[in-house]
Amino acid sequence: MDEVIFVDKPKGMTSFGVVSRLRRILTEKMREEYTKRGETAPKRLKVGHTGTLDPFATGLLIVLVGKATKKCERYLKMNKEYIAKIKLGETSTTGDPEGFVQKIYTGRPISGEKIKNVVQSFQGKIQQTVPSFSAVKIDGERAYKLARRGEKVEMPTREVEVFQIEILKYEWPILEIRAKVSSGTYIRTLGEDIGKKLGTGAYLTELRRTKIGEFDVKDARELSEFGIFS
């Protein structure tokens, strides 16, 4: 029961939800195996993940089981790759579809050349402000909990690195990009910052994590393989 599981997280489920469902299934399996051997099973099986994906996001989630949870830091520090769809001309209070969306740009569609120049300007080391709807702790409490209560706090700024960013498709107002980034990079913030620099505003409509380090979502397992259905 000490293993690393690569899961393709479905849309609409939290990372914690994935872990709790897997913990239940794996705990039952563990107890069955101990019973077969005539032994007493541990009361609780340790299960955790190595990097949160927002509920609207999909893709690679690494789940650690048993003694493998001690490897958490190793996976957390790995670089990531994402594919994101960004809607230009509108903003969201959360930077994604779950927030209050507001149209702020009524001008002409932005040219592909300008889009390309702005997107490429984010390649390299950049400064990001951590989004208020995030799991970062502020004075011991998760930022998203403070944000949901309407409390305004000053969010920290950090340096991250965008190793590679490319446009996969652009058809106003939807921009699709692939970004290879350092650990700790917020793609929601990247999307919003692109919109700010274009002067149109923007938010993410879709997000998929395709790689963590050398691990690819193509090798991940669907939750249905464990008998879990959202």
Closest listed residue to residue 154, CA positions, set 129, 175, 174, 177? 129
CATH code for position 219: 3.30.2350.10
pLDDT value of position 134: 65
Closest listed residue to residue 84, CA positions, set 196, 183, 186, 13? 186
Question: Are residue 101 and residue 170 in the same domain, yes or no?
Answer: yes
Q: Is the dihedral of CA 124, 129, 134, 137 positive or negative?
A: positive
Q: Which amino acid is at 77?
A: K
pLDDT value of position 32: 87
Tokens, residue 205? 């409509």
Question: Are residue 99 and residue 161 in the same domain, yes or no?
Answer: yes
pLDDT value of position 214: 95
Spell out, as residue ranges, where the chain has pLDDT lower than 50.
none
Closest listed residue to residue 124, CA positions, set 159, 77, 155, 158? 159
Catalytic residue among 8, 54, 96, 193: 54
Q: Which domain holds residue 30?
A: 3-77+214-226
Question: Are residue 86 and residue 198 in the same domain, yes or no?
Answer: yes
Question: Are residue 218 and residue 207 in the same domain, yes or no?
Answer: no
Question: Are residue 203 and residue 102 in the same domain, yes or no?
Answer: yes
124 phi-psi bin (left φ>0, alpha ψ -120 to 50, beta other): left
pLDDT value of position 45: 87
6-47 per-position pLDDT tens digit: 999 999 999 999 999 999 999 888 888 888 889 888 878 899
Question: Are residue 199 and residue 219 in the same domain, yes or no?
Answer: no
Place of tokens 């230009």: 88
188, with CB counted inside 10 A (0-12, 13-18, 19+), is buried
pLDDT value of position 147: 63
Question: Are residue 104 and residue 177 in the same domain, yes or no?
Answer: yes
- Catalytic residue check, 219: no
Question: Are residue 139 and residue 28 in the same domain, yes or no?
Answer: no
Question: Are residue 141 and residue 173 in the same domain, yes or no?
Answer: yes
Number of compact structural domains in the chain: 2
Question: Are residue 72 and residue 84 in the same domain, yes or no?
Answer: no
In degrees and rounded to multiples of 5, residue 84 shows phi and psi of: -130, 145
Judge contact between 4 and 64, C-beta under 8 A: yes
Question: Are residue 152 and residue 205 in the same domain, yes or no?
Answer: yes
How do strand 3-9 and strand 58-65 relate by DSSP bridges?
antiparallel
Q: How many CA atoms lie within 13 A of 173 on its CB side?
A: 22
pLDDT value of position 130: 79
Question: Are residue 50 and residue 120 in the same domain, yes or no?
Answer: no
